[in-house]
Amino acid sequence: MKNTLLTSLVLSLSVFTGCANSYNSQKTHEQVSIKKIASYESKIKGASEIVAYDIKQQRVFVTNGKKNRVDVLKLTFSNNKSSLNKIASLDLNPYGTGVNSLTYKNGLLAVAVEKTSSFDSSKQLRGSVVIFNASLQHQKTVKAGYLPDMVTFNKDASLIIVANEAEPNNDYSYDPKGSIGIIDINNNYEYTDLNFFNIDIPKDVVLRKNTQAGLDLEPEYITISKNKAYVSLQENNALAIVNLDSKTIEKIVPFGFKDHSLEENALDIEEEGKILIKAYKNLYGMYQPDSIASYIVNNKTYIVSANEGDGREYGKYTNETKISKLNLSDDLKSIYKNENDLKINNEMGLENNTYTKLYTFGARSFSIWDEKGSLVYDSKNELARLTQKFEKDLFNQSKGKMDQRSGNKGVEPEALALGEINNRYYAFIGLERQNAIVVYDITNPRNAKFIQYLNTKNADLAPEGMTFVAAKNSPSKNALLIVGFENSGSTSVFEIK
């Protein structure tokens, strides 16, 4: 991999020119600059994933999955110099076996901690949401559902909402119920568990064969807007909409499928050491977002999704199979004869034991949806085209080798944060495998505009979690983007002017 550390760049509202690996842009009358100003390097893989920011004390909270703790970092900024240093840690071993998520608001830190069986480490028991005050003193431990994977506050911090993913154990002999938990802080931290057993499930929601929806649905990520919680069900390619006033699940909406036979949705599916972006007949992508976020335009809520994709692999069970190992219909055999590295869902597209349609994991894009769950924008194959332009020699890379992920979710958009700067809305999308961050102007939800491609190379690897800090809450008086990089174990702060 290249050793160049990009620390400053220009964000422009114009279209980029220049060759691959060039980060220069055309300058226009309207531009913003972004600069890496501080970083904390643990040098431990898995020691930085989900991040949150304390406005009053300029602290950054980071999940350290490797050590099962929360690391507390102090951001200082004076005389145009900044630093990020660890000042404390919270040991979570007394509360569970693995930290997954955290959130901070109004002087409360809420941490989602899973708990596994002492007899079977793959068997999930009910986890907890552990709450600390601003002084890092333990306040409350609230029993949550199985595998609490993401936690967030509502707008006024009166509720804590948790996504209980409830993955099965390794041999699939035990599959706990997925649920969405609501903790009412003002009512002595009362916990309400919302499951999916009595909810209508639309036909395009992706479920494992021969299972109950209430067991198979796996809540992944949450975004809050007004009195609603929108929850991504990643493996199921769906969105749950929760009414926080009535504490009920209103409905589940399938994300649908992306048609890769269209040239605008062309992709590279073959790992042969070169870039081959093509459209393919009867190939469909499941959006399957991990991170989602929301914003409001003209009093309407829009949900932004990073369409990572995720298959299932538990012990001997997996729903992922390469095309090369499938019994294809005669119509598809010639199409995929030499281009068949792509992993698809082996439980979908079958007719009489023959595959007539292929469904792959993730959409290799980011999307914008309205509050009803209808698609209003998708970046199509632009993320692949941008990677081809700016990192041609590392296209669909894995560990510095190009074209190693073309058959498996490509650039893998995962992390996501939204922010408002000078009355315009921006989306920051982390491409996990490319170690890159892509910036878009999403002020018009139906017409997002590419702004910049940022890669800090070896310094920061695999962006996992992001949080945006508005200028009014920043010690530098400029907006900040704080990013947790999983593989490098680093936490970095970028200043945006």
Q: Over 70: is that where the pLDDT of 7 sits?
A: no
Summarize pLDDT for 121-145 with one digit per residue, the tens. 999 999 999 999 999 999 999 999 9
C-alpha pair distances (Å), 226 with each of 167, 230, 300? 29, 11, 10
The beta-strand segments (E) located in 422-462 are 424-431, 436-441, 449-455
Summarize pLDDT for 247-272 with one digit per residue, the tens. 999 999 999 999 999 999 999 999 99
β-pair type (238-243, 228-233): antiparallel
Spatial separation of the C-alpha atoms in residues 340 and 261, rounded to whole Å: 15
Q: Over 80: is that where the pLDDT of 22 sits?
A: no
Which of residues 457 and 157 earns the better pLDDT score? 157
Reported as a pLDDT band with limits 50, 70 and 90, residue 93 is very high
Mean pLDDT, residues 35-60: 96
C-alpha pair distances (Å), 421 with each of 55, 241, 326, 373? 17, 28, 49, 26
Summarize pLDDT for 390-411 with one digit per residue, the tens. 999 999 999 899 999 999 999 9
pLDDT score, position 16: 31
pLDDT score, position 31: 61
pLDDT score, position 23: 33
**In 3D, which of 439, 430, 416, 280 has the Cα closest to residue 360?**
280
Summarize pLDDT for 310-346 with one digit per residue, the tens. 999 988 899 999 999 999 999 999 999 999 999 999 9
Spatial separation of the C-alpha atoms in residues 224 and 210, rounded to whole Å: 33
C-alpha pair distances (Å), 315 with each of 14, 98, 122, 378? 49, 20, 10, 34
Q: Over 80: is that where the pLDDT of 2 sits?
A: no
Kindly list the domain boundaries of the chain, sorted by start residue: 92-248
Reported as a pLDDT band with limits 50, 70 and 90, residue 10 is very low
Q: Over 90: is that where the pLDDT of 24 sits?
A: no
Spatial separation of the C-alpha atoms in residues 86 and 89, rounded to whole Å: 8
Q: Over 80: is that where the pLDDT of 3 sits?
A: no
Does domain 92-248 sit in CATH 1.50.10.100?
no
Mean pLDDT, residues 165-188: 96
**In 3D, which of 359, 410, 415 has the Cα closest to residue 385?**
410
CB under 8 Å to 69, separation ≥6 — which residues? 89, 90, 91, 92, 93, 99
CB under 8 Å to 423, separation ≥6 — which residues? none
User: What SS3 class is residue 195?
Assistant: strand
User: What's the whole-number average pLDDT of the chain?
Assistant: 93
Mean pLDDT, residues 10-24: 32
Summarize pLDDT for 426-443 with one digit per residue, the tens. 999 999 999 999 999 999
* Burial of 187 (C-beta count, 10 Å sphere; 0-12/13-18/19+): exposed
